[in-house]
Structure 1
Amino acid sequence: MPSITVRRLYKDNQAKLRLTWIAGTTGSDNILTTDKGRSTALVGHLNFIHPNQVQVLGTTEVDYLNKMEAGQIKASFDELFDRVISLVIVANNLSVPSLLRDYCHTHNVPLMTSGLESPYLMDVLRIYLQRRLAVSTVMHGVFLDVFEVGVLIVGQSGLGKSELALELISRGHGLVADDAIELYRIAPERLEARCPAILRDFLEVRGLGILNVRTVFGELAVRPKKLLQLIIHLVYATDEHMQSLDRLNTYKETEEILDVHIRKVTLPVAAGRNLAVLVEAAVQNYILQLRGIDSTKDFIERQTAVLKEQEADDAFDSD
C-alpha cells in the first residue's frame, strides 16, 4: 500500500502550513498509510477513543486538556500513546501543553505547531495525503490535454503515437507525459495522470530524437497533471479489423484502470488518415456526449422516424 513518512510530509508542507517541529524528532520515519490493516483515520481533531494517524489540536482541544486534572490527562495519554499515532500538530499558534510535549518525546511521536487554524490545516493535509497516498499504476503511451480533456493515447510501438502527439501540440494542445504515465486514483471514480520527474517536458520522436516541448513550443505547451477522461487506442487498419467495425458505433467501449471505467475510442491507423483531426473530433464528440448530445443516437432516431413515415405512407396508399 502507498505510504509516506512524517519527514516527507513536513518537507512538503512546512512553508504552506507554517510548521515548526518541536519534539519527537526521532519519530521522523513514522509512516502514514491507507493500509486496510490500520483502522485509524488519517487526519482529525484529537480523539482519545478512535485516534487519527495525525492528531490535530485546535483551541477547543487545548482548552479541554488544560481543564483536565493532571491524573486524568496522564491516564488518557497513557492509553492514547499506546496506539498507533504518527504525528501530533498543535494549531492556531497555541501553547503546547508540557505533558503532551513529554509524551511525544518519550514515545517518538513527532510534535509540531502551526500558525494556521485547525480546520484549514486539516483540509490541506487531507487533500495532500489523498494525493500522496493514492493507489497508482504506470501505463505506456502519450498523455495530452486536448480541449481541456485528459486524453491517453495508446497502441503498439511504431504506430506514430509520438508523431501524433507532436502534431496535436503544434495545434495548441498540451503535453502531460510521454512514454511512462503515472496514474493515481485520487477519488473513487477519478484518475489523475502525472509525469515522472525525469521525463517531464520531454517527447521522443523517431528521427528527431528527444524534444523539450517546453523549450520548443513554450510554457503553455505542457501541463503538470490532468484527469484521465478518454483513452484513444490506435490499431493497424487491417482488412479484418475494418470489416468488423460497427459503423454506427452504438457501443460505448470502456477500459478499467484501478477499478475506474474510462471511456475508450479505437482509431484505425492507415495511410492518408489525419489522426490529429480524428483525435480532436473524438474529444469533441466525447464532450458533446457529456452534455447529452449523441450524434449517433440522433441519426438513428431520425432514420427511424423516416422509416415510420414511409410505412405510414405505404399503408395509406394501399388503402
Structure 2
Amino acid sequence: MPQISVNQLFSDKGEKLGLTWVAGKGGGAKLLTSDTVQKLSLALIGYLNFVHPNRVQVLGCAEMDYLRSLTPEALNQSVNNLFSTELAAIIIANGETVPQLLKEAAERTLTPLFTSHEQSPDMMNILRHYLAQVLAESTVRHGVFMEVQGMGVLITGDSAVGKSELALELITRGHRLVADDVVEFYQISPDTLEGRCPEMLQDFLEVRGLGVLNIRALFGEDSIKLKKNLRLIVHLEKLTEKTMSQDRLQINAFSQQILDTAIPEVRIPVAAGRNIAVLVEVAARNHILQLRGINSTQQFIERHDRMMAEDKYAN
C-alpha cells in the first residue's frame, strides 16, 4: 500500500511551502496512506474540521478567527477533541500566530505542527496534487512507453518483435522516450494513468546489436519525457494466418485493463516491408480523432450503407 511519512512530506515540500516545524517533532514518522482517501469520514487533507477531522488539518485566517472567538473552556475542549483523532499533522497558514494551547497539545500527542506564510488555498492545492502523485496505486508493465504526437503510447509485444527498434525510429522522427522495458503506471485519478520510468533506467534504450543507448546524450534533451499520461496501447504481433484473417475494419475495438482504467489498444501485425513507425504515428492521430468524436470506420460503414440503400431504391 502506498504511504508517506510526515518527515518525507516536510523534506519534499517544506521549502516550497515555506513550512516551519514548530512543535511535535517526535511525530515525524506518522504515515499518510492511500486507503485514507477511501474513508468517507476521514479526508486526507482539508480545512479545520472537528466533526470529521482530516489527516492533515490546515488552519487559515477564518479557522484561526473561529478559535480566537471561543471561550477558554470551549477552546480547550475543542483542541482536546481535535488531537484525540487520527491526526497526522496540522499546518497553520497565512502567517497566523500559533496559540500556545495548540503547541502544548502537539507536543503532548507528538503531532507535527507547522506554520507557513503561504495562503491556505494555494497550500492545499499543492499538497493535494503532491499527495495524489505519491499515494497513487501503481503497477508495472513490460514494453516501451513513448510520447507520440503529444500522446502517451505504450508499445507492447513479444520479445524480439521489434519494440526497441520501433522506438528508436520514432525518436529519430521527433517523438520522445519515457521508459524502455519497465514502465511504472500510477492511478493518479479515477480515469488517468501516469507512466514513469524507474530512476535506474532513465534515458536508456536497449537495442539488439547496438547495446544500451543513452537517448538523451545521442538525441538531446527534447528526446526524453520524464512522465506522461497513458492514452493508447499499440501491440505488435507477428503476421500469421490468424492475424491475416482478423477483422480489417476494426469494428470491435480492443482495450486493456490497467488498474482501474480501460486503455484502448491497437494491434499492428509486423512483417517485412511494413513501415511500423508510420503506422504507430497514424494510430495515434486516429485515436486523437476518435477522442474528438470522429470515427473513420463508422463514417465508411455509414457511407457504404447509404450508397447500398440508394442503389437498391434506384433499381
Bin for the TM-score computed over the shorter chain: over 0.9
Q: 1:127 aligns with which of 105, 126, 129?
A: 129
Q: Deviation string for 1:206-225 (max 9, x for gaps)?
A: 11111111111111111111
Letter in 1 for 2:6: V
Give secondary structure in 2 for the equivalent of 1:272: coil
- Determine helix, strand or coil for the equivalent of 1:249: coil
Q: Does 1:100 align with 2:98?
A: no
The answer for the alignment partner of 1:317 in structure 2 is: none
| Stretch of structure 1 that moved more, 292-301 or 83-92 | 292-301
Paired residue type of 2:284? V
- Aligned residue in 2 for 1:232: 234
- For 1:194, give the aligned amino acid: R
How big is each residue's C-alpha offset from its partner over 1:224-270, in whole Å with a ceiling of 9 and x where there is no partner?
A: 11110000011111112222x10111111111111211111011111
- CA apart distance, 1:291: 1.7
Secondary structure of 1:96 counterpart: coil
- Shifted more, 37-46 versus 26-35: the winner is 37-46
Shift of 1:313: 2.3
Equivalent AA in structure 1 for residue 129 of structure 2 = I
| Alpha-carbon separation, structure 1, partners of 2:48 and 2:292 | 44
**SS of equivalent residue, structure 1 residue 223:** coil
Alignment match, 1:207: 209
CA contact (8 A) 2:60 2:119 kept: yes
Q: Deviations over 1:60-112 (max 9, x none)?
A: 11122222222222222222211100000010111111110111111011111
Give the letter aligned to residue 251 of structure 1. N
For residues 157 and 76 of structure 1, the distance between their equivalents in structure 2, rounded to whole angstroms, comes to 62
| Partners of 1:230 and 1:34 in 2: CA distance | 26
For 2:296 and 2:121, the matched residues in 1 are separated by 47
The offset of 1:198, in angstroms, is 1.2
Give the aligned residue type for 1:159. Answer: V
Partner Cα distance (2:235, 2:117) in 1? 49
**Aligned residue in 2 for 1:297:** 298
CA–CA distance in structure 2, aligned partners of residues 291 and 139 of structure 1: 28
1:309 counterpart = 2:304:
no
- Within 5 Å, which residues of 2 pair with 1:138-149? 138-149=140-151
Which secondary structure does the structure 2 equivalent of 1:248 belong to?
Answer: coil
One-letter amino acid matched to 1:6: V
Pair 1:254-2:255 in alignment: yes
- Counterparts of 2:23 and 2:213, CA distance in 1: 48
Match in the other structure for 2:171: 169
Question: Distance between the aligned counterparts of 1:48 and 1:305, measured in 2?
Answer: 65
Matched AA of 1:22:
V
CA–CA distance in structure 2, aligned partners of residues 70 and 206 of structure 1: 74
Deviation string 1:101-136 (CA, Å, 9 cap, x unpaired) is 111111011111111011111111111111111111
Unmatched tracts of structure 1, length 5 or more? 315-319
Residues 173-225 of structure 1, C-alpha deviation per residue, up to 9 Å, x if partnerless? 00111111111111111111111111111111111111111111111111111
Alignment of 1:1-319 (within 5 A): 1-35=1-35, 39-243=41-245, 245-314=246-315
SS of the equivalent of 1:35 reads helix
1:188 maps to a residue whose letter is P
* Number of corresponding residues: 313
Give the secondary structure class of the aligned counterpart of 2:35: coil
Counterpart Cα distance in 2 of 1:118 and 1:258: 33
Alpha-carbon distance, 1:40 to partner = 1.1
Q: Report SS of the residue matched to 1:183.
A: strand
Q: Which runs of 5+ in 2 are unaligned?
A: none
Partner SS for 1:284: helix
Amino acid at match of 1:309: E
TM-score by length of 2: 0.96
How far 1:34 moved relative to its partner?
A: 2.7
Preserved CA contact (<8 Å) 2:34 2:137: no
Q: What CA distance in whole angstroms lies between the structure 2 residues aligned with 1:312 and 1:66?
A: 83
Q: Which amino acid aligns with 2:24?
A: G
CA distance in 2, matches of 1:68, 1:293: 60
Q: Aligned to 1:262, what secondary structure does the other structure show?
A: strand
Counterparts of 1:23 and 1:242, CA distance in 2: 69
Counting aligned pairs with the same residue, the percent is 51
